Chain A
Amino acid sequence: MTVSYDNSKIVFDGIKAAGIRSVSALPETWLGLLLQRAEADPDVRLIQVAKEEEAIGVAAGAYLAGEPHLLLMQNHGFLAAINGIVSLAQLYSIPLCMLIALRGHWGEPYPWHTRGGIVTEPVLRALNIPFEYARDPKTVGRQIREAWTFSQSSLSPVALLLTRDLMED
């Protein structure tokens, strides 16, 4: 299995089409090609963090500054960022538009990803974070735009889960 070059481009084009000007991220395999595009694109600022919870602070700062910002992370990074999501974003009504690589789910061959994959959806539900699964390259662009719009209108964290169907060939 390899990361989908075509669909990584489609997701990145979707991020740009949604009007995003900066992206914070921690590199992970499925996001690699996307991050390369972000790094090479003069219209998008990529801020690479050391741990995902930092990105919640960076995203909050960008939002308060009025800059359209999106977070890219693996689901284990989402799990590592929960206190920031709850006690900064939700506490202060600060929106977050999160694209989360859903590792450790259907078709996962690596044991180390599985626990995080199994709990991702229940944790999103427990945190009252609206989410959708992105599986189809034909609709993912619209899903990104809608996730962005909803985060801004609801002043809430919103998650779009990038699945294996979308991210691997």
Chain B
Amino acid sequence: MKRAECIGMLYPELEDKVVVTIMGACAQELYDLGHRDNFFYLQHAMGLASSMGLGLALSLPDERVVVLDGDGSVLMNLGTLATIARYRPANLVHVIFDNGSLLSTGGFDSHTTAGITDLAAIARGAGIEHVRAVASVVDFGEAVIEAFERPDLSVIVAKVAAVGPNHYGMDLQLPENAFRFRRWIRQRRP
């Protein structure tokens, strides 16, 4: 399955969610479906999208927070899974697209290639109870529905092909993304 298919399936569900994506292909594929002010694209600082999701989820217990992460980014910050497990925000859904590749930086194999490293097992070992590993679009959709209905922390590890968009670029400056994202959240608060 392709990550773009998963993101396409997820997109209608994200209208009222607080969403953080990692850099590169993942950010671009979400943006290309139509930017919304509740999407934050972390175009650098690899590994920290999940930490941002934790900070957002703990601060916003009434919002559903979704992190769209990748294997390369998670491998740069494995401690994040333990920290998230410890604080267990019930409103956080952490999706890890595992394409086994550092695609956006030249396509080098990551440690997850050929089943060497199992991110779902690491997430479980870190203490996260609800972890689901999926490899088909149908299973991905089911896992997402489950996660959104579950009043607890969920991690979904989705095995995807190492393919990305054929272009990169956004009509959105990085601080502008942060300002508009923050304002969207503020305007929903009582």
Contact = CB atoms under 8 A, between A and B. Distances in A.
Interface of A: 22, 24, 45, 47-51, 53-67, 69, 83-84, 87-88, 91-94, 155
Nearest to A24: B55
B44 A91 contact: yes
For the residues of B in contact with A, the DSSP-based class is helix
Chain A contact surface mostly: helix
Contacts of B43: 91
B42, B55, B80 — most chain A CB neighbours (10 Å): B55
Interface of B: 18, 20, 40, 42-45, 47-60, 77, 79-80, 82-83, 86-87, 174-175, 177-179, 181-182, 185-186, 189
12 contacts: A49-B79, A53-B48, A54-B79, A57-B51, A59-B55, A64-B56, A64-B181, A66-B185, A91-B43, A91-B45, A91-B175, A93-B179
A57 B49 contact: yes
Contact of B45 (A50, A59, A84): A84
Contact of A61 (B45, B59, B174, B186): B59
A66 B60 CA distance: 9
A54 B80 contact: yes
A157 to B, nearest CB: 13
A66 B83 CA distance: 21
Given A84-B45, A93-B178, A48 B86 contact: yes
A58 B52 contact: yes
A69 B58 CA distance: 12
Nearest to A59: B55
Nearest to B181: A64
A53 B77 contact: yes
Contact of A88 (B45, B179, B189): B45
Nearest to A65: B59
Contacts of A57: 45, 47-52, 54-55, 80
B45 A22 contact: no
Contacts of A56: 45, 48, 51
B58 A54 contact: no
A57 B49 CA distance: 7
A26 to B, nearest CB: 10
A93 B57 CA distance: 21
A78 to B, nearest CB: 15
Nearest to B81: A50
B186 A69 contact: no
Contacts of A51: 77, 79
Given A57-B54, A58-B55, A64 B178 contact: yes
A60 B185 contact: no
A94 B177 CA distance: 11
A65 B83 contact: no
For the complex of A and B, the 8 pairs showing the least CB-CB separation, nearest first, are: A61-B55, A57-B51, A50-B79, A57-B48, A65-B59, A87-B44, A58-B55, A88-B45
A64 B52 CA distance: 9
Contacts of A50: 79-80, 82-83
